[in-house]
Amino acid sequence: MPYTITVDPLGHRVSFIATGTYSQAEAFQSIQDMVGHPDFRAGYDVLVDMTGVEDVPLWGEDIREKVDFDKGLLAVLGTGTWAFVAPTDLVYGLARMYQALMDDTPVHLEIFRDLRTAQAWLDDR
């Protein structure tokens, strides 16, 4: 599994770190693992760190399918704030597409090029 999920109940935050090749199967499984985590609660902030991702074999249709799936989990996800760390152009572009398609949801999502800036943004909210 090329990702780890850590839930901080005191900080009301989920940290998601992906590495290696991050496929569509992992994308679907990771959100299920997050909401299924015993410490996860609706409305937690989410930090998605894609710094260690080397390949993302996804296309536009894959992102649309992922968004549709995630929108089906909105009652469980709640109204949290999400920060995506996307240092490469490929990951940034895919994250930007995801952001645009999630724009009509209560999830507030921003994309950053580095981890420190993303963490600071979440901390300031």
Domain at 108, CATH number: 3.30.750.24
Query: What would the two tokens of residue 54 be?
Result: 């080397």
Average pLDDT (29-53) is 95
Give the tens place of pLDDT for each residue, 62-110.
999 999 999 999 999 999 899 999 999 999 999 999 999 999 999 999 9
* Domain contains 92: yes
What is the SS3 assignment for 18? strand
**Which structural domain range is residue 16 located in?**
3-116
Give residue 62's pLDDT.
93
Q: Do 113 and 92 touch, CB atoms closer than 8 A?
A: yes
Q: How confident is the model at residue 60 (pLDDT cuts 50, 70, 90)?
A: confident
pTM over 0.85: yes
How many domains does the chain fold into? 1
Confidence of residue 58 (pLDDT cuts 50, 70, 90): confident
In a domain, 98, yes or no: yes
Q: Yes or no: say if 27 and 65 are a contact pair by the CB < 8 Å rule.
A: no
What amino acid occupies position 72? G
